[in-house]
Amino acid sequence: MTLEKGFEPHLAIGETTVTGRDIEMLRAIDRFGSMHEAANELGRSYPHLQRRVVELEEAIGQLTERVRGGEGGGGTQLTPDALGLIRQFERLRVELSGVTTVPESVISGTVTERSGELATVRTAAGEMTARVPTRAEDVEIAVRADAVVLIEPRSPAHDRTSIRNQIPGVVTGVAIDDAIATVTVEIDDGVMIESVVTEESVDRLGITEGTDVVAAFKTTAARAITADP
C-alpha cells in the first residue's frame, strides 16, 4: 500500500482564490487572443468563463484588455500582470512539487534546549539545531535532500558560513540519473542522510562509496515535528 503524495496549489487574495483551473484558463486566453476560443478549447461554457475573468479582475486588478467589436470581432489580450500571475503560480507549483519529488531524511532525537522557534536536538549522530514549531520533546527532524550540502572533510574555514549543522559521515551509496546524483551518507550506525547534488560535484569532490564526507545543512532548512501524536 503506497500512497502517492499530491497537492493542489492556489493563490489567495481575500475571499477569492486563484486555482490551477484559472491559470489554465488565462493561458488558453493568451494562446488564442479570445475568451470564446479559449472556452471552446477547454470545453467550458463561455458565460462562466467570462464571468470568472471579471471575478478575478475584481479581486486582483486588471488582467485582460477586452475589446468588443472591431477587427476580427474583437478579442482579449492578457496584461503583463496576468502573465506575471501565471509565472508566480507556476513557480509555486514547481516548488511544491519539489517537496513531493525530492527525498527527505528523517532523524529522531530529543530537544535539549530551546530558543524561540529554534531548538537544539540530541540525536544518535550528535547535536543538531532545527526549527521546532510545536512545543515537543521527542521529535523527528526532516531535511530535504536538496538542502543537504556535501563538504570535503579537513577543508578549513567552514565556520565562516551560515551552515551550522555539519555532520561527518561515510558515503554508502551514489545513484546517478541524468546529471543528478543522490548520495547517501551514513552519519551513525543505520542513520542515513540523503543529498541530491550534481554529477559534477560528485566528480569534483571525488565522492564514491566509502568516501568520508561532511553532510551539512542549515538550521532553518531542518524542520522538526513531534514523534508521537
Partner DNA sequence: CGGCGTTGTATCGACATAGATACACCGTCG
Partner DNA sequence: CGACGGTGTATCTATGTCGATACAACGCCG
From residue 173, how far is each of 26, 72, 79, 183, 207 by CA, in Å?
45, 62, 49, 6, 10
Alpha carbon distance 217, 193 (integer Å): 10
Task: Give the integer Cα–Cα distance in Å for 116 and 119.
Answer: 8
Which partner from the list its own copies, DNA, none does 2 bind, CB cut-off 5 to 8 Å by kind? Answer: its own copies
CA distance 149 to 198: 11
Q: Which of 7, 31, 45, 212 binds DNA (CB under 7 A)?
A: 45
Site for DNA in 55-74 (CB under 7 A): 66-74
Cell numbers 489580450 correspond to: 77
56 binds its own copies (CB under 8 A): no
Task: Check residue 44 for interaction with DNA (CB under 7 A).
Answer: yes
Task: Based on the shown chain and the rule CB under 7 A, indicate whether residue 10 belongs to the binding site for DNA.
Answer: no
Which does residue 144 bind out of its own copies, DNA, none, counting CB within 5 to 8 angstroms by kind? its own copies
* Minimum CB–partner distance for residue 83 and DNA (Å): 17
Alpha-carbon distances of 45 from 40, 54, 57, 137, rounded to whole Å: 8, 15, 19, 54
The residue type at 34? S
Q: Which is nearer to its own copies, 81 or 186 (by Cβ)?
A: 81
The candidate with the shortest Cα–Cα distance to 206, out of 167, 165, 174, is 174
Interacting partner of 10 out of DNA, its own copies, none (Cβ under 5 to 8 A depending on kind) = its own copies
Decide if residue 159 touches DNA (CB under 7 A): no
The answer to whether 123 touches 107, Cβ cutoff 8 Å, is yes
Q: Choose one: 51-59, 114-122, 151-159, 201-209; the region binding DNA (CB under 7 A).
A: 51-59
201 binds its own copies (CB under 8 A): yes
Give min distance, CB of 106 to DNA, in A. 30
Where does this chain bind DNA (CB under 7 A)?
21, 34-37, 43-51, 53-54, 66-76
